[in-house]
Amino acid sequence: MVKLTVKDFLSAGKDKLDLKLLNPEVNLGRRIKTATFLRPGLALAGYFGYSTPSGVQIFDSPEISYLKKLSKSERSTCLQRYFSCDIPCIVITGNRSYPKELLKLAIKNNVAVIRSTLSTSRLINKIAVYLEDKLAPEFSLHGTFLDVYGVGVLIIGKSGVGKSECALELIERGHRLVADDMVEIKLKAGKFLMGRGAELIRYHMEIRGLGIVNVKEIFGVGAVRNRKRIGMVVTLEKWDSKKEYERLGLEEKIYKILAIKLPHLVIPVRPGRSIPILIEVSALNQRLKRMGFHPAKELNKRLIKSMGRKALKQKELDEVF
């Protein structure tokens, strides 16, 4: 599970979100465990049925006004009940004034209170984008990742099978490198996967016999991109004469990453085969499938239809004779 502390949140959003810590004496090690933020109006009123205590708490005019209208004893009881939940931090929007008890009890319960001059709607939008990115499930995979004709192609296989050499030829043919050797993958919106290169080695490739090359410097900025949605997985493996490889393409293989199913091709490598061209064609074929056209299935339908006509014609001939 990704670990995001209040300190991380404050550091990252200090400038972008205009955040200012109001009680620096508290410990900032509390974890923000969800990208879901909370407007705690119901929680302050004593109903916690739909609360998300592990998310960032947003205090706007309704929450502040409600607290100010309470008597001192009622406000103290309300806030003590509220702080009994394991909340990570409170963000007060719009530079609003707040009851002193809020800050006092926050310090007592070791909860960071942060102020932002941004409006609530702008702040919520920016926080949602940041937290969604930071708290997305992650996975690292050894492979090479490229943008081929708009399709994110993740190339995997055993060390020495030729992944980087294949990628280098694809780059030379005009396609773009996203990552080589180590691909960092994040699950976005629970539906799709985004891949990128590790920051330290981004845009670099290791070619056996040649060494480390910087693709961005050699081929230009148009030969690389920072991230790309993964559209398919290609496994390169040394040709095994005893193994039966797919020839028709009717049976679609699946490769799972973070529970997301991706189209999977296994391409055998042997002298004389142009693997980069095969990957280009596989990417274009995948684009056709996305558009609702499956070449292998369409051909199969035509063959079945043709065989049906021939069988019917033969039956008619048999009846005549």
Catalytic residues: 142, 163, 181, 247
Tokens of 241: 């004469």
Q: Any long-range contacts for 36-45 (C-beta under 8 Å, 24+ apart)?
A: 37/124, 37/127, 37/128, 37/131, 39/63, 40/82, 41/66, 43/82, 43/85, 44/78, 44/79, 44/82, 45/78
| Helices and strands of the chain, counted as H and E runs | 10, 14
Q: Name which of 169, 154, 155, 282 is nearest 223 in CA terms.
A: 169
CA 162 remoteness from chain centre: 27
2 CB-near residues (< 8 Å, 6+ apart): 134, 135, 136, 137, 138
Q: Name which of 201, 197, 163, 171 is nearest 183 in CA terms.
A: 197
Cα–Cα dist 276/269, whole Å? 11
Q: Name which of 91, 120, 117 is nearest 22 in CA terms.
A: 91
Contact 154, 145 (CB under 8 A): yes
**What burial class does residue 123 get, using C-beta atoms within 10 Å of its C-beta: 0-12 exposed, 13-18 middle, 19+ buried?**
buried
